[in-house]
């Protein structure tokens, strides 16, 4: 199972996850995607703001119905961290264990399961935990840390990696791959950030768009 985390919100976790799912399917692998909880804003007339939900984007990439990707009762109609949205809407609180217990993988078997968290690695996912706690509870085979490529990203990536790696219980070392998303090889800051992280931190780094097959190779262990 692959856990997709981000250095923050709006870094492109869902886009990266969808690209990966499409690539894996193209290789003939059976995939499934899960978004344990999602949130989005609703307009005055009950219409959803901000385009497709994460469950819709992931489902269209994995070939599943959005309700399979994220249970309707875990779709919060308020663009806030899911447990905060639940509270703001007067809905019941929930725990990381609730979310993990609700993950319902296809009975006929899959080759790769992908779980997308909400927001950044320290963002609340449930009443009692953040994405690091989700990582600990799920014990994924690989964590994908999606990040921006531009100014400020070295700080965000290092803080996120520290949080992920130092989460008690993960010392055993779940491998993490950093995805520098929206990477432009002609952009000097992007190039220099990539080189700096590579040389000084030794992180495993993939740049997107462009390196989709390298990311799929990491996931399939090739
Ligand atoms: Mg997303």
**Cα(116) to centroid(ligand 1), Å:** 7
With a CB cutoff of 8 Å and minimum separation 6, the contacts of 207 are 149, 179, 180, 183, 185, 194
Dihedral sign, Cα of residue 196, residue 201, residue 207, residue 213 = positive
Judge whether residue 172 has pLDDT over 60.
no
pLDDT in tens, 61-101: 999 999 999 999 999 999 999 999 999 999 999 999 999 99
**Cα(173) to centroid(ligand 1), Å:** 25
**Cα(126) to centroid(ligand 1), Å:** 16
Average pLDDT over residues 31-58: 90
In the residue annotation, 13 being an active-site residue is answered as no
Distance (Å, whole) CA 24 – CA 108? 17
Average pLDDT over residues 136-164: 95
Catalytic residue among 13, 19, 34, 35: 35
Percentage of residues of the chain with pLDDT beyond 70: 97
pLDDT in tens, 117-128: 999 999 999 999
Say what the pTM is: 0.95
Domains and CATH numbers, the chain: 2-220 (3.40.50.300)
DSSP tag of 151: T
């Amino acid at each position: 199972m692959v856990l997709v985390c981000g250095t923050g919100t709006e870094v492109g976790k869902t886009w990266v996850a969808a690209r990966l799912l499409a690539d894996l399917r193209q290789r003939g692998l059976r995939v499934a995607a899960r978004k344990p909880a999602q949130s989005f804003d609703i307009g005055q007339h009950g219409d959803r703001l901000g385009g497709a939900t994460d469950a819709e984007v992931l489902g269209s990439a994995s070939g599943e119905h959005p309700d399979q990707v994220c249970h309707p009762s875990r779709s919060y109609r308020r663009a806030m961290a899911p447990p905060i949205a639940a509270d703001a809407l007067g809905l019941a609180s929930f725990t990381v264990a609730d979310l993990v217990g609700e993950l319902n993988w296809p009975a006929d078997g899959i080759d790769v399961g992908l779980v997308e968290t909400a927001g950044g690695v320290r963002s609340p996912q449930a009443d009692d935990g953040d994405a690091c706690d989700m990582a600990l509870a799920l014990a994924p085979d690989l964590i994908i840390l999606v990040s921006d490529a531009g100014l400020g990203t070295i700080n965000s990536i290092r803080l996120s990696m520290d949080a992920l790696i130092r989460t008690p219980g993960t010392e055993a070392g779940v491998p993490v791959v950093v995805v520098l998303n929206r990477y432009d090889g002609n952009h000097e800051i992007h190039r220099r950030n990539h080189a700096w992280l590579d040389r000084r931190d030794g992180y495993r780094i993939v740049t997107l768009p462009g390196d989709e097959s390298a990311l799929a190779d990491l996931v399939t262990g090739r």
